[in-house]
């Protein structure tokens, strides 16, 4: 049976909501993410990195402790909407630059968090997680190894591998322009002993031709959950969409031929339906669901709004305060928070997106919207063609799999055939819609047989 979105592929917040039965009422206070940007520096110079304002500034342990104090105070006061006594666990997310430049600091902040939870009788440590993504270049340093040995049971670590070596080395280079794949790959192999098979690949127009070999590589590595997606920032063209469909169609054929049961997020079954009018939430967490602290202790909605990403001037307008003097203590800080909290799917979207027949799963980044337009309440839609091609590919995969293996249900194509034709051409569109019809007929036959 092909893997449904398994627990390990879910957001940890989503997982805790399900565990504590608050998923239906959308109460995400059960689990909150707090980001510690512990350094502004990095060992690599990846060409697509959105952090365009790196520095050598690092967080001090004193600041890290203040942030923990702030979080635990929120819990004890129990009068806010972010962390309160309904909170069962926190994801302590460490980010850089490269977080392992400060492995010792991560360890000390975690030590302090656990000791303070214990001392104050705050029962959230057992359900809390330590999480980060690393480029793997400092994996084997004594500090990093010490951290892994001590906390691996409560850690979720992703070594960022973009895909096959040729692709990875084209983008992820060091200061001298040398590719970083070999070191990252060794780190990834070593992380497997802790069960860290996590992968997250992000594709852009220049890397579409690597999607299939990269996913095949991760399947061969034993990854059962392969998270991969398209970057939000580029403006994808119709030609990109045709190429995406061709690549994902070939990948689908290979997955079916080899009877592969891995979960591949890019071909997920539940994307590509219209918006649910009853659910108007803003799915990007960067509008009030998270908090990110910069090395100096200043707080932002997420790292995408922090100075390392968008520069000091723009970031200062969305700063919530700091861990030394308090958050939301000025009129301006409260106003920013209120504005971000009020953003919904419809408030930021055009009519075309609100009524789009395949809207579900079409994402955005509120931080990038803010960087681009000066407001997070206006959605950038450069991903449109990539999303539509992804939806058509998911329909191809699910319907073909339904017919040939029979372990998934038919998937309805919500995009009008004429529009599909414009993207993938008449012949492939004909094939796609005929697969949908055959898969539905098969399903009806099965239903008829079992009803007899």
Q: Which residues bind ligand SF4 (CB under 6 A)?
A: 42, 44-46, 49, 51, 96-98, 135, 172, 352-353, 356, 358-359, 362, 381, 384, 387-388
Residue 333 or 393 with smaller CB distance to ligand SF4:
393
Query: To the nearest whole angstrom, how small is the minimum distance from the Cβ of residue 415 to ligand SF4?
Result: 9
Residue 40 or 321 with smaller CB distance to ligand SF4:
40
Give the distance from CA 256 to its chain's centroid. Answer: 26
Residue 22 or 346 with smaller CB distance to ligand SF4:
346
Query: To the nearest whole angstrom, how small is the minimum distance from the Cβ of residue 381 to ligand SF4?
Result: 4
> What is the CB neighbour count within 10 angstroms for residue 156?
18
End-to-end CA distance of the chain, in Å? Answer: 25
Query: To the nearest whole angstrom, how small is the minimum distance from the Cβ of residue 412 to ligand SF4?
Result: 16
Tokens found for residue 145: 């190894």
Tokens found for residue 337: 């928070």
Yes or no: say if 368 and 226 are a contact pair by the CB < 8 Å rule: no
SS3 227: strand
Query: To the nearest whole angstrom, how small is the minimum distance from the Cβ of residue 6 to ligand SF4?
Result: 26
SS3 143: helix
For 72-117, the DSSP string reads: HHHHHH--SSSSSTT--EEEEEEESS-GGGGHHHHHHHHHHHHHHH
- Residue ranges with strand state E in 306-391: 321-322, 326-327
Query: To the nearest whole angstrom, how small is the minimum distance from the Cβ of residue 262 to ligand SF4?
Result: 25
Query: To the nearest whole angstrom, how small is the minimum distance from the Cβ of residue 115 to ligand SF4?
Result: 30
Residue 184 or 402 with smaller CB distance to ligand SF4:
184
Dihedrals phi, psi of 148, to nearest 5 degrees: -65, -45
Residue 255 or 310 with smaller CB distance to ligand SF4:
310
Query: To the nearest whole angstrom, how small is the minimum distance from the Cβ of residue 336 to ligand SF4?
Result: 26
Residue 174 or 224 with smaller CB distance to ligand SF4:
174
- CA pair distance 194, 36, nearest whole angstrom: 23
Residue 87 or 183 with smaller CB distance to ligand SF4:
183
- CA pair distance 144, 148, nearest whole angstrom: 6
Q: Residue 6: is it exposed, middle or buried by C-beta count within 10 angstroms (0-12/13-18/19+)? A: exposed
Query: To the nearest whole angstrom, how small is the minimum distance from the Cβ of residue 92 to ligand SF4?
Result: 18
Bridge pairing between strands 298-300 and 321-322: antiparallel
Query: To the nearest whole angstrom, how small is the minimum distance from the Cβ of residue 364 to ligand SF4?
Result: 8
Tokens found for residue 295: 């090395």
Residue 49 or 170 with smaller CB distance to ligand SF4:
49
Residue 64 or 96 with smaller CB distance to ligand SF4:
96
Cis check: omega of the bond before 226, within 30 degrees of 0:
no
Maximum pairwise Cα distance, the chain = 71
């Amino acid at each position: 049976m092909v893997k449904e979105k398994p627990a390990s592929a879910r957001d940890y917040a989503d997982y805790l909501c399900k565990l504590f039965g608050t998923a239906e009422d959308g109460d995400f206070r059960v689990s909150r993410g707090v980001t510690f940007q512990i350094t502004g520096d990095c060992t690599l110079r990846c060409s697509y990195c959105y952090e365009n304002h790196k520095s050598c500034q690092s967080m001090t342990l004193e600041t890290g402790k203040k942030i923990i104090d702030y979080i635990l105070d929120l819990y004890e006061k129990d009068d806010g909407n972010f962390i309160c006594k309904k909170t069962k666990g926190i994801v302590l997310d460490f980010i850089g630059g490269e977080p392992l430049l400060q492995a010792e600091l991560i360890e000390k902040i975690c030590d302090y968090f656990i000791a303070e939870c214990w001392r104050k009788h705050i029962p959230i440590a057992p359900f809390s997680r330590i999480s980060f993504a690393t480029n793997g270049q400092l994996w084997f340093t004594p500090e990093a190894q010490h951290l892994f040995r001590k906390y691996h049971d409560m850690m979720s670590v992703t070594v960022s591998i973009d895909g096959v070596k040729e692709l990875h080395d084209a983008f992820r280079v060091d200061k001298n322009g040398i590719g970083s794949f070999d070191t990252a790959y060794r780190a990834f192999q070593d992380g497997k002993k802790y069960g860290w098979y996590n992968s997250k690949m992000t594709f852009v127009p220049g890397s579409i031709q690597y999607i299939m070999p990269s996913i095949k590589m991760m399947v061969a590595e034993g990854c059962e959950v392969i998270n991969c997606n398209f970057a939000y920032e580029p403006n994808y063209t119709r030609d990109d969409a045709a190429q995406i469909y061709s690549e994902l169609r070939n990948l689908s054929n290979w997955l079916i031929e080899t009877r592969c049961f891995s979960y591949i997020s890019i071909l997920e079954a539940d994307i590509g339906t219209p918006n649910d009018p009853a659910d108007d939430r803003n799915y990007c967490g960067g509008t009030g669901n998270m908090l990110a602290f910069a090395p100096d202790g200043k707080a932002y909605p997420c790292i995408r709004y922090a100075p390392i990403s968008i520069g000091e001037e723009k970031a200062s307008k969305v700063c919530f305060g700091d861990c030394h003097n308090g958050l939301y203590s000025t009129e301006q800080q409260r106003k920013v928070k209120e504005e971000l909290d009020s953003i919904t799917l419809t408030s930021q979207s055009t009519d075309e997106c609100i009524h789009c027949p395949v809207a579900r799963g079409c994402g955005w980044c509120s931080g990038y919207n803010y960087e681009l337009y000066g407001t997070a309440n206006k959605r950038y839609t450069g991903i449109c063609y990539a999303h539509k091609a992804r939806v058509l590919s998911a329909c191809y995969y699910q319907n073909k799999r339904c017919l040939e293996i029979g372990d998934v249900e038919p998937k309805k194509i919500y995009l009008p055939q004429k529009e599909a034709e414009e993207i993938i051409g008449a012949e492939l569109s004909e094939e796609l819609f005929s697969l949908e019809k055959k898969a539905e007929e098969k399903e009806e036959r099965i239903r008829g047989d079992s009803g007899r």
